[in-house]
Chains A and B, each alone.
Chain A
Amino acid sequence: MKVAVVGIGHGKFGRRDDATVQELGFEAFRDALNDANLTIQDIDASVIGSVPEYHKQRSLPGVVAEYIGMNPKPTFLTEAACASSSAALRTAWADIKAGLHEVVAVVGVQKMLELTTPELLALMGRVGDVQWESGFGTTFPGYYAMYATRHMHDFGTTKDQLSMVAVKNHFYGAKNPKAMFQKEVTLEKAKSARMVASPLNLYDCCANADGSAVVIIANEDRAKKITDTPVWIEGIGSASAPMSVLRRENLISIPSAVHASHDAYKQSGLQPKDIDVADVHDCFTIAEILAYEDLGFCERGQGGKLIEEKQTYIGGKIPVNVDGGLKAKGHPVGATGTSMVVEMVKQLRGEAGERQVQGAEVGLAHNVGGIGQYCFVSIFKR
């Protein structure tokens, strides 16, 4: 059974001291309903993608489903760290394919900044294996930094190439009104920022943020009735990898991303060369370079060269993160997966404005959870 995205909504990402988590969810949900020209009666269920430990409110789906008006329809949470709403999408997609529901709202929502900085820093210390690693003060940037160190050693990837990813994503973020940072940066500025975890500096890291993004998906029959511009889900690959980077084969690839992309390519019958536009999980600049390679956009080790040659800009071989990526949009972890889907749908509908990749027919979203413990790769076609 074919399943399509029929409605999209995207709230403003950033520090949202003006809103609760359910209010953030409502913003994007209302936009998605209007986009699909549906009412809540048309929607059979909501799946909430979010990381619960950031919220004071416990059991998030309860408060979100109520506030967006989805009672008494079924709701529940999916959690896969930074890929939580891709897990929600895959679950909703499976529900529809199984015939359980016809139309489902996938609500990615997160409010990270209601925690104080000390609370956030305490959480940051527990992103890896807390038994064997956190006692040494490991951090999120630190893990990706160790990937970067190894990638630079093995392939000659340079610090400049890392910074070039930041420059590109801020270049496009400046054109995205929903992005947290809408300002271009120079290579000089990106290179000279203060160090966070060597070799990654502040501009190599994305920012914690608040925000929401919602997509409404439907089975083929309903989708064709709802819209003239359905965007078909051709495949959603998913995979996992060891919690600890110690137990991974190497530190030059995110294994779950390789597996998930193989899965998605197989389901869709498409190949890397068929992808016209992609959003990848650039929580850190090195992560985008790893994604190029894990997804097969270039050979292993050639990711640095791909950005240096500007092949991931519009007009290049494969435009990547032309919405600004996590880097410029900000990274409200639970909302990031659906945010990627929103951008792919806009691109495939031809509604991306000055960020439009002309003639885009196939889009790919690569959403990594944690340090690659989870990965979802979704392929869309107009």
Chain B
Amino acid sequence: MGFDEFGLINFVPFTKVSDFTDYLKEGKLKGKHCKKCNAVYFPPRADCVKCFAPESEMEWLEFSGRGKLLTFTTIHAAPTGFETKVPYTIGVVDLEEGGRLLAWIEEPPEDEAKLELGIDVRIEPKVIDDNRLIYVIKIN
């Protein structure tokens, strides 16, 4: 019970937003919303840095999973723990509700030139390598 299930490798098992992984397991992508100033955060954070409201003002907000591809790269030289996954393509997505997300692009076109920035994409929760919880970017 905690954040340790998130990511192929997890470096940060403890966080105030560990409920995120529980929602992800239910198939829901959630960010945080500040009831006081209406700020929306993805990745979620426990504290509103716009208005410094009390922690109790922050609520979970379900995201549609829709967004637009801002940029990407295909990693060929991997860090420790990712050696068997290369090459893998990482994308950054501007989410419809606000905030951004970084994740793997699932099944990117073989020719990278065909991957256009600004296209509509979908974010989907996924379990990989038996028990690792992530989300992936799917090209519509």
Check if A137 sits within 8 Å of B90, measured CB to CB. yes
Decide: A122 near B90, CB < 8 A? Known: A135-B8, A142-B75: no
**A75 is an interface residue with CB less than 8 A from chain B:** no
Segment from A99-107, A126-134, A216-224, A253-261 that makes contact with B? A126-134
B10 contacts the other chain (Cβ, under 8 Å)?
yes
Q: Which residue of the partner chain B has the closest CB to A146?
A: B71
B61 within 8 A of A: no
Partner of B71 from A133, A139, A149, A200 at Cβ < 8 Å: A149
In the complex, whether A73 has a CB less than 8 A from a CB of chain B is: no
Residue of A nearest to B81 (CB): A125
Please, which residues of chain B bring their CB within 8 A of the CB of A136? 7-8, 90, 102-104, 134
- Asked if B12 and A142 make an inter-chain contact with CB atoms under 8 angstroms apart, the answer reads no
Q: Complex formed: what's the CA distance from A135 to B135 in Å?
A: 11
Per-residue contact bits, chain B 1-34, to A (CB 8 Å; 1 contact, 0 not) = 0010011111110010000000000000000000
Nearest residue (CB) in A for B9 is A135
Known contacts: A135-B134, A197-B76. The answer to whether A125 contacts B15 by CB under 8 A is no
Query: In the complex, what distance in Å separates the CA atom of A156 from the CA atom of B78?
Result: 28
Across the interface, do B92 and A197 meet the contact criterion of CB distance under 8 Å? no
Question: B68 → chain A, closest Cβ, in Å?
Answer: 12
Residues of A within 8 A of B78 (CB): 121, 137, 139
Does the CB pair B9–A145 fall under 8 Å? no
Tell me if B43 is interfacial: C-beta within 8 Å of chain A: yes
* Given A132-B43, A135-B7; A246-B102 close (CB under 8 Å): yes
CA distance A149 to B73 in the complex (A): 7
Chain A residues positioned under 8 Å from B9 (CB to CB): 125, 134-135, 137
Q: Are A246 and B11 in contact (CB under 8 A)?
A: no
**Distance (whole angstroms) from the CB of A134 to the closest CB of chain B:** 6
- Alpha-carbon gap, A305 to B13, bound state (A): 46
Q: Does B101 contact A (CB under 8 A)?
A: yes
Inter-subunit contact A124/B104 (CB<8 Å): no
Q: Does A2 contact B (CB under 8 A)?
A: no
A183 at the A/B interface (Cβ < 8 Å)? no
Cβ distance A296 to chain B, nearest Cβ, rounded Å: 24
Contacts known (A132-B102, A136-B102, A138-B90); A149 close to B72, Cβ less than 8 A: yes
Bound complex: CA A121 to CA B101 (Å): 24
In the assembled complex, the Cα of A150 lies from the Cα of B116 at a distance in Å of 10
Cβ contacts A136-156/B at 8 Å (1 or 0 each): 111101100111111001000
Docked complex Cα distance between A121 and B73 (Å):
18
Which of B78, B80, B100, B101 counts the most chain A CB atoms within 10 A? B80
Kindly state the separation between the CA atoms of A195 and B78 in the bound complex, as whole angstroms: 12
Q: How far is the CB of A283 from chain B (nearest CB, A)?
A: 15
Docked complex: B57-77 residues within 8 A CB-CB of A? 70-77
CB of B75 within 8 A of CB of A247, answer no
Q: State whether the Cβ of A118 lies closer than 8 Å to any Cβ in chain B.
A: yes
Contact between A197 and B8 (Cβ–Cβ < 8 Å)? no
**Do the beta carbons of A247 and B100 come within 8 Å of each other?**
yes
Is B112's beta carbon under 8 Å from chain A?
Answer: yes
> Which residue in chain A gives the minimum CB-CB distance to B83?
A121
Cross-chain contact A133 with B79 (CB below 8 angstroms): no
Query: Which of B10, B82, B102, B117 is the most central at the interface, judged by chain A CB atoms within 10 Å of its CB?
Result: B102
**A134 pairs with B11, CB closer than 8 A:** yes
Question: In the assembled complex, how far is the CB of residue A220 from the closest CB belonging to chain B, in whole angstroms?
Answer: 42
Task: State whether the Cβ of A314 lies closer than 8 Å to any Cβ in chain B.
Answer: no
Q: Which residues of B contact A (CB under 8 A)?
A: 3, 6-12, 15, 43, 70-82, 85, 88, 90, 92, 99-104, 112, 117, 134
| Smallest CB-CB A-B distances: 5 pairs | A135-B7, A125-B79, A137-B82, A145-B73, A122-B80
